[in-house]
Copies of this chain bind each other. A is one copy, B any other.
Amino acid sequence: MNISQAAAASGISAKMIRHYEAIGLIPPAGRTAAGYRAYTAREVRILAFIRRARALGFPLPEIRALLALWSDRDRHSADVKRLAVQHIEQLEAKARMLTELASTLRTLADACSGDARPDCPIIESLVSGERPA
């Protein structure tokens, strides 16, 4: 299977497949006589695994660990769970931060008349650092 077929089958772009190989996330693919990368169904499964982990928001370093756990027959599910829970906490922390920002800004926007006049609590807050009352 050529790289573009592996890309279509796995949902990872050819560009990224090469990149993952370059950074050692996946082992180097076999090559045809002409130097084309050749992929097996097994390798496509690995790529799809990576795609699903990315879709769950795992960064590549953590995916590296997940791949290692996947291929480790003697893994402890506790190790996988710990990784996942840690990641969940990071996702939730980021979400909370964004929600807080949005709510702060929403308060400012609600106080802004949004008409043709120049006076605007949003700008004023950025200028002074104070929240309007």
Contacts and interface: CB of A to CB of B under 8 A. Distances in A.
Interface of A: 45, 48-49, 52-53, 56-57, 66, 69-70, 72-78, 80-82, 84-85, 87-88, 91-92, 94-96, 98-99, 101-102, 104-106, 108-109, 112-120, 122-123, 125-127, 129
Copies of this chain present? 2
Given A118-B74, A123-B66, A127-B49, A81 B56 contact: no
A52 B45 CA distance: 46
Contact of A117 (B76, B92, B122): B76
A54 to B, nearest CB: 10
Given A84-B105, A91-B98, A77 B113 contact: yes
Contacts of A113: 77, 81
B52 A114 contact: no
Nearest to A117: B77
Nearest to A72: B118
Residue from A52, A98, A109 having most chain B Cβ neighbours under 10 A: A98
A81 B120 CA distance: 8
A40 to B, nearest CB: 16
A114 B70 contact: no
Contacts of A45: 127
A101 B56 contact: yes
